[in-house]
Amino acid sequence: MMHCAQAQPEIYVTTHDYERLSALADFYKSRRRGVLVDFLIDELERAELVPAAEVGHKVVTMNSRVRIMDPDTALCRTVTLVYPREEDSLRGKVSVFTPLGSALLGLPEGARMAWRTLDGRTKSVAVLEVEYQPESLGLDLDSAAVALA
């Protein structure tokens, strides 16, 4: 999986999401399953890291529910960005380890992201609306992690 030649939008990832996703990606790479996380790793490396309390309310974070559109087909649907074990395509739960999930992470509302598939096709997604984001409700996972330590 790789980025397309066109300019990619800026993305914003909370420090909590970055730390947890980086650890999971490292685990998958150590198990020789890196192809599953290469795109995610690329996205994490180019992301602007922000504390959870400071991330924009209209940015896709982990466990956000978003209305998206496939610009090629104009098909719209609502999905929730989740960790791999929570994936459930029938309920609209998309793993961050999928190309779609990796593309959504950190995108602000109104942005569009394109990527190239392993077979060379270009796919893209547009974020129409961030319907729910945990951080916008004050669910500051960075502070919660410190409090539990």
pTM, 2 dp: 0.86
In a domain, 63, yes or no: yes
Residue 146: inside a domain, yes or no? no
Which phi and psi angles does 46 have, rounded to 5°?
-95, -5
**Residue 26 belongs to a domain:** yes
d(CA 7, CA 75): 23
Please report the DSSP string for 19-55 in residue order: HHHHHHHHHHHHTT-GGGTHHHHHHHHHSEEE-GGGS
Model pLDDT for residues 72-131, shown as the tens digit of each residue: 999 999 999 999 999 999 999 999 999 999 999 999 999 999 988 878 889 999 999 999
38 by DSSP, 3-state: which?
A: helix
Domain that holds residue 104: 7-136
Sorted by sequence, the CB contacts under 8 Å of residue 7 that are 6+ apart come out as none
* Number of domains forming the structure of the chain: 1
Q: 149 lies in a domain?
A: no
Instruction: Give dist(CA 57, CA 60) in Å, integer.
Output: 8
